[in-house]
């Protein structure tokens, strides 16, 4: 695996080292030793999957508040998604800045997000599936988010008229 730290401190793009032959390819997607070598958490508490039937589905922007904050490793295992991460760590030099990248089954790329980074995505294809590995279990009372179109963040999404649920439409304006 190849770890590239982004402009958001602690956020890494992780590329697979594919071993290919005429049958296809094989690659490790997680390795305790490699994550430890990069100073990333090695204890996982939960894995989740998000299947999205329609192109244009937008989920986010979500995070868990302290003391249940979680680090996440996210990859797309079917289809493709425009993945957005948002730095909500008040002491970070990149507070309120975002980063977007395409995650797809074909590129195999993953994103590692430390605690304090919120996450959202918009699907670029029908039948897109994202797989999450998290360092803390989901706690419904700690689940929160910010609005996908909050002008404070000025996030650009690739597809107009996203498919949203009522919760993601109703997050309040970010408290500046």
Among all residues, which ones are annotated catalytic? 62, 132
Peptide linkage before 97 cis (omega within 30 of 0): no
């Amino acid at each position: 695996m190849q770890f590239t730290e982004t402009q958001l401190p602690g956020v890494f793009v992780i590329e697979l080292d594919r071993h290919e032959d005429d049958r296809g390819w094989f690659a490790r997607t997680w390795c305790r030793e490699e994550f430890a070598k990069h100073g990333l958490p090695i204890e996982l508490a939960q894995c989740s999957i998000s299947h999205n039937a329609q192109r244009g589905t937008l989920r986010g922007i979500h995070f868990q508040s302290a003391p249940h904050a979680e680090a996440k490793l996210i990859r797309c295992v079917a289809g493709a998604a425009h993945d957005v991460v948002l730095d909500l760590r008040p002491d970070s030099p990149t507070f309120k800045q975002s980063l977007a990248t395409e995650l797809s089954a074909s590129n195999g790329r993953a994103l590692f997000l430390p605690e304090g980074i919120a996450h959202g995505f918009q699907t670029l294809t029908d039948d897109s599936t994202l797989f999450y590995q998290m360092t803390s279990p989901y706690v419904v009372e700690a689940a929160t988010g910010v609005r996908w179109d909050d002008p404070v963040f000025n996030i650009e999404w690739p597809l107009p008229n996203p498919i949203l649920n009522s919760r993601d439409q109703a997050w309040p304006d970010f408290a500046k």
